Structures are given as structure tokens and as C-alpha cells.
């Protein structure tokens, strides 16, 4: 006598959207952890930090919104009641681009300072 303990809707579109969302957030938190590691480093303004900020911004500006529309297409949703997720992703991407500009300027000033000493 076999009994199923976990009951749910095992449809391809649901499994695919959950997998895509988990993959996106795995990359999101990996890049975020790399950015936060740079704050503990001896030198704050490094080329690696600028590169990681760029990747994080691209993830939030292009890949996040693209994934949002792909998931809506896969799930055949016509309403956009959860558009706040899209807006938050775009705002975070723009904010990170500003932070990246500050880091680039800090990197240039740090290099100039290192050369004068």
C-alpha cells in the first residue's frame, strides 16, 4: 500500500518557473555575497569590486525583468498584479549602477593617491 505524502500540481510549467526563479536567486545571492566580501577587504575600491557591481547591475536591469516576462509567458498570466517585483529589480539595478560609478571614482582616486606616495 503506497501513500503519497506530498501532494501538489506537478505540471511542467510550474516546475520550470520554480527552477528559473531558484536559479536567478542563486546567482543573485552569489553576486551579492561577492560584493559584500569586498567590504571586508583591505582595499575597498578594486577592479574586482567594480566588475562584481557591474554583473549585479546587469542581473537586476536585464535578466531579472526578462525572467519576469518569461515566467508570465510560461504561466500564461495576463494580469501584472505583481509588477512591484519588476520595479524593485529595476530600481536596484539603477542604484547599483550609481554605486559602481562611485566605486570607479574611488578606484581612480585611490590609484592616484598610491602613485603620489
Interval 80-93: pLDDT, tens? 788 898 999 999 99
Between CA 26 and CA 108 the distance in angstroms is 32
Between CA 22 and CA 92 the distance in angstroms is 19
Number of Cβ atoms within 10 Å of the Cβ of 71: 19
Q: How do residues 10-47 score in pLDDT, each as one tens digit?
A: 788 888 999 999 999 999 999 999 999 988 888 889 99
pLDDT at residue 1 in the model? 59
Burial of 8 (0-12, 13-18, 19+ CB in 10 A): exposed
Between CA 39 and CA 30 the distance in angstroms is 15
The crossing angle, in degrees rounded to 10, of helices 64-74 and 12-38 is 170
Using CA atoms of 88, 18, 23, 71 in order, give the dihedral in degrees to the nearest 10.
-50
Total-model pTM = 0.83
Query: What's the mean per-residue pLDDT of the chain?
Result: 89
Amino acid at each position: 500500500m503506497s501513500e503519497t505524502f506530498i501532494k501538489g500540481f506537478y505540471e511542467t510549467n510550474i516546475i520550470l518557473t520554480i527552477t528559473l526563479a531558484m536559479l536567478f536567486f542563486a546567482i543573485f545571492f552569489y553576486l551579492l555575497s561577492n560584493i559584500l566580501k569586498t567590504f571586508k577587504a583591505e582595499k575597498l575600491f578594486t577592479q574586482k569590486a567594480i566588475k562584481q557591481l557591474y554583473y549585479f547591475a546587469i542581473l537586476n536591469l536585464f535578466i531579472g525583468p526578462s525572467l519576469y516576462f518569461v515566467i508570465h509567458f510560461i504561466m500564461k498570466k495576463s494580469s501584472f498584479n505583481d509588477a512591484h517585483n519588476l520595479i524593485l529589480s529595476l530600481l536596484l539595478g539603477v542604484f547599483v549602477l550609481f554605486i559602481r560609478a562611485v566605486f570607479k571614482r574611488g578606484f581612480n582616486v585611490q590609484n592616484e593617491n598610491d602613485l603620489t606616495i
